[in-house]
A = this chain, B = another copy of it.
Amino acid sequence: MTTRQRRFPTREELRIWRDYTETGEAVRAAMSARLQQASGLSPGDYAVLLALSEATGNRMRSSELAATIGWERSRLSHHLGRMEKRGLIRREECLTDNRGAEVVLAPPGLELFQGANRPHLRDIREIFVDALTPEQIVAAGEISAALRAHLAKE
């Protein structure tokens, strides 16, 4: 019976770990560059605009928006500040809670988002879907799920 509770990863496991993280980096960088190039939007901009475009009235409470895209409040606040300066969104006072703010999709933001949407989906296909076999795509989903489940357990 071999030791099943190894203390450290093997050389091969380490190589794959590095591969996994570095590839993630590279893929993200490539997607980000294409999005930026095609539309002038960052991945963060896209996430915000996507959520707003799907909200009823194209508006959302700030904290609701943060929950939807899974960001910390302060991160969102900083990002909204930058987006507001560029005219992509507006912030309005909330009528039902004077502390609150509503984030509203501004026309230039909607337009940029709509322009970005199809190219972005195409990029996902070109960079991710087309690179893998159908079996690998399924496996990628399973691996991601396993990693997340394991993380959540800790």
Q: Are A151 and B129 in contact (CB under 8 A)?
A: no
Near B by CB (< 8 A), chain A positions 1-53 give: 6-9, 13-17, 19-24, 26-28, 30-31
The reply to whether A147 and B27 contact each other, CB–CB distance below 8 Å, is: yes
Task: Using A9-B121, A122-B8, A139-B143 as known contacts, say yes or no to A128 and B17 having CB atoms under 8 A apart.
Answer: yes
- Chain A's interface size range is 35 or more
A94 interfacial by beta-carbon distance below 8 Å: no
Asked if A141 lies at the interface with its beta carbon under 8 angstroms from chain B, I say yes
- Cα A70 to Cα B147 with chains together (Å): 26
A127 within 8 A of B: yes
A6 in contact with B140 given A21-B28, A145-B19 (CB within 8 Å) = no
Cβ of A142 within 8 Å of any chain B Cβ, yes or no, is yes
Asked if A148 lies at the interface with its beta carbon under 8 angstroms from chain B, I say yes
Q: Is the CB of A22 within 8 A of B128?
A: no
**Does A111 lie at the interface of the complex (its beta carbon under 8 Å from any beta carbon of B)?**
no
- Residues 99-136 of A, flagged 1 when their CB comes within 8 A of B and 0 if not, give 00000000000000000001001101111111111001
- The answer to whether B20 and A28 have CB atoms under 8 Å apart is no
